[in-house]
Amino acid sequence: MLLAEYDYDTDIAVQRKEAFDDGFSAGEERGISIGLSQGAHQKAVETAKNALTMNLPVEQVAILTGLSVEEIEKL
């Protein structure tokens, strides 16, 4: 004897909810990762601008910030 009858609609609804939750979590993690990366890059750009105003050589600014010489020269 079965304890409960199988309900197709309920099963599909549960599966959809689980898939949505998994996708949402993955998207949230990806968004946080991208945001942190962009924030770190923006901070490096700000640091490079400040260093350039102090007349530091571009090569030293590149070492200090981790940015490429080409990117710094565009600032």
In a domain, 14, yes or no: yes
| Exposure b/e, 30-58, CB count within 10 A at least 16 = b | eeeeeeeeeeeeeebbeebeebeeeeeeb
Per-residue pLDDT 10s for the chain (75 aa) are: 455 677 888 899 999 999 999 999 999 999 999 999 999 999 999 999 999 999 999 999 999 999 999 999 998
User: What is residue 1's predicted lDDT score, i.e. its pLDDT?
Assistant: 45
DSSP designation for 3: S
User: pTM to 2 decimals?
Assistant: 0.66
Instruction: Quote the CA–CA distance of 51 and 64 in Å, as a whole number.
Output: 9
Structural domains of the chain, count: 1
In a domain, 2, yes or no: no
DSSP designation for 4: S
Give the domain extent around 56.
8-74
Rg of the chain over Cα atoms, rounded to whole angstroms, equals: 25
In a domain, 3, yes or no: no
DSSP designation for 19: H
